Amino acid sequence: MALTDKWLKAHLNKPQEKRFEKAHREGLSVRVSLNGAVTFQYRYYLRDRKKYDRATIGYYPEMSLAAATAELPRLKVMLAEGKNPKLELASSRIYEAEKLTLDQLFTKWYEEYCSKKKKAHEEHRRTYEIHVKQKIGKLVAENITRPVFLELLNPIIKTYPSIAERIIINLRQMYEWARLHQIADADPLRDITAKKVGIESGQDTRFFSEKEMMWFFTALEKTRIEEKNKMFIELSLHYACRPAELRFTEVEHVNLDFGTWNVPWQNHKIGKKTKQPIVRPIIPEIKKLWERAIELSGSHKWIFTNRGTSAQIDRSAIPASIRCIENYWRKKLKVNGEPIKYNPFCAYTLRKTARTNFANFGEWAVCEKMIGHKLPGESDKYDYNTYSEKMRPIYQKWYDYTQQVRSGNSKVVKISSQK
């Protein structure tokens, strides 16, 4: 019976009455010691010496079954060339002792590049620790083959495709950086992309209809999420801003006297290119939300913070709150006693809903400025107007419209909420 990961896990670190071996295929087997250490080994025949010999390939779980199997073709080539795989592996281990493991290479890349270039670098590090480190982190980075990476990625692709895509992007950047700095030569992920491994990245066209807006507001009011998170979501819908623009908002960025919210160029997507801030107006009705958000803040710096701390609100907090709204929407809201047909949404659904409706109230170019888009052509090189005052009437009309929908005075189907 061939080896399986389940069998290996079942015998790992489990005391045994005696040492034993279990064969896999093509000469690959494992040796299990008295204390449960599992070692991959390759059994082969030396024609010149007319005897069988064994070479240690690696140790489980540092080396996976797939990685050990992937070593067989290389060992067979050594044997065909008249070399002894045991001696070749022993000499290569002396050389490889000087090479970096994947953990060491990732740490070096993270400290020298990722932490300095990526705003969400802590999330990238955490993704690596959760999904990569424990499985292949101790392997020599240059020796990890493509099948090993694909074995790691396939389960993640099925469950968390966006995380799998992040892993691919980060590891490709890491290997490219390592080659550029002459730290490593191999690049097993060079031509691997999200699309090639089956991750769909089609454009999401989801936005709220007028009916769905009313249902959304009802669920937002009724669901039991923190008040500051509700305000974060309301401001996201009002401004059509990116979630990060609110997450990185500091108290000093909001001028309630002049009625403006300043998003520094470092805090928005196109800021690196334009070096210009986004200055959005604060209408009187929305001023109350800002005042309350500042009042609830546990920090003198950040407006939106984690519960009971002064730390900036986590990136995961708002998606979690949206899931609570979705659950209420799906389970509690009814029309004529029947559940409402529900379609999932995310923070960017709010952004698309607002931008779609902005078009009814103002000029295209101003609407694009409101959501932080770069205008086409050379306009951004010559036009440094913030358009803040031109945004103000659009935001006012959009707010008035949302309140009309919220109060049920528009042409939408009345709903009931199950307690």
Q: Enumerate the domain spans of the chain.
A: 5-98, 102-197, 210-407
C-alpha distances (whole Å) from 335 to each of 53, 209, 237, 343 are 75, 16, 24, 15
At residue 208, the pLDDT reads 93
**231-286: pLDDT as tens digits:** 999 999 999 999 999 999 999 999 999 999 999 999 998 888 888 999 999 999 99
* Residue 355 CB neighbours (<10 A): 16
Residue 330: its pLDDT value, please?
86
Q: What type of residue is 319?
A: P
Tokens representing 394 are: 């659009």
Alpha-carbon distances, residue 85 vs 43, 80, 88 (angstroms): 10, 10, 5
- Predicted pLDDT at 146: 87
Rg of the chain (C-alpha set): 29
Can you give the pLDDT at residue 415?
45
Given this model, what pLDDT does residue 92 score? 66
pLDDT attached to residue 96: 52
Confidence of residue 354 (pLDDT cuts 50, 70, 90): very high
Report, as an integer, the average pLDDT of 35-61: 87
125 CB neighbour count, 10 Å cutoff: 19
Entry pTM:
0.62
Banded pLDDT at 51 (limits 50, 70, 90): confident
CA nearest neighbour of 237 among 401, 83, 92, 101: 401
Cβ contacts of 293-300, under 8 Å, gap ≥ 24: 293/228, 293/231, 293/232, 293/235, 294/251, 294/254, 296/227, 296/228, 296/231, 297/228, 297/251, 299/251, 300/251
Alpha-helical runs (H) found in 145-302: 146-159, 161-180, 210-222, 227-239, 243-247, 271-274, 284-296
State residue 98's pLDDT score: 60
Token reading at 133:
């480190």
- pLDDT at 52 > cutoff 50: yes
What are the tens digits of pLDDT across the range 180-236? Answer: 887 877 788 888 888 888 887 655 788 999 989 999 999 999 999 999 999 999 999
Nearest to 239 by CA among 292, 286, 297, 303: 286
Structure letter (DSSP) for residue 143: G
What CATH fold (topology level) applies to the domain 5-98? Double Stranded RNA Binding Domain (3.30.160)
Question: Looking at residues 92-111, what average pLDDT do you find?
Answer: 78
Residue among 217, 206, 366, 219 at smallest CA distance from 280:
366
- C-alpha angle with apex 385: 384 to 388, nearest 5 degrees? 140
Residue with tokens 């529900």: 342
To the nearest whole number, what is the mean pLDDT of the chain? 88
Class of the CATH domain delimited by 210-407: mainly alpha
The answer, yes or no, to whether residue 367 has pLDDT greater than 90, is yes
Q: What is the pLDDT of residue 397?
A: 95
Is the confidence at residue 94, as pLDDT, over 70? no
Element spanning 56, H or E: strand 51-60
Instruction: Give the pLDDT score at 414.
Output: 45
End-to-end CA distance of the chain: 57
The half-sphere exposure of 62 on its side-chain side, counting CA atoms within 13 A, is: 15
Starting at the edge strand found earlier in the chain, the sheet holding 20-23 runs 20-23, 28-32, 38-46, 51-60
Please give the pLDDT value at position 324. Answer: 93
CATH, domain range 102-197:
1.10.150
Burial 79-95 (b: 16+ CB within 10 A, else e): beeeebbbebbeeeeee
Place of tokens 């959005």: 280
